[in-house]
Amino acid sequence: MQEDAQKLYSAVSKVIYETRKNKGIKYSDLCYENDIATSTYDDIINAKTKATFYNIAKVTRALGLSFEEFGRLLDKELPKDLFDFEK
């Protein structure tokens, strides 16, 4: 199960990192302007499983993504068999 969690956090990391880069938002600006601790952002980008849903949601919103958009991007990054409990 831990391996599946790591795959999920890695996909979240990739979506957030690439969205920030594609929008041309500087790391420091994103954190400062949205009251996001740099350590929180680092935990998400480094795919730390201690990143909370609240913090992921806060960063996602700061990037201007709706949950629907974030979910769509995340779904593209997730391995198709990630939640295949019969494997």
Structural domains for the chain? 2-77 (1.10.260.40)
Ramachandran class of 36: left when φ > 0, alpha when ψ lies in -120 to 50, beta otherwise: beta
CA distance readout (Å), 29 to 17, 19, 40: 14, 14, 14
Residues 17-62 pLDDT 10s: 999 999 999 999 999 999 999 999 999 999 987 788 999 999 999 9
| Per-residue confidence (pLDDT) for residue 86, from 0 to 100 | 64
More confident residue, 80 or 55: 55
Instruction: Write the DSSP string, 43-66.
Output: HHHTT-TT--HHHHHHHHHHTT--
Cβ partners under 8 Å of residue 58, min gap 6: 34, 36
pLDDT at 8 over 70: yes
pTM of the predicted model as reported, rounded to 2 decimal places: 0.88
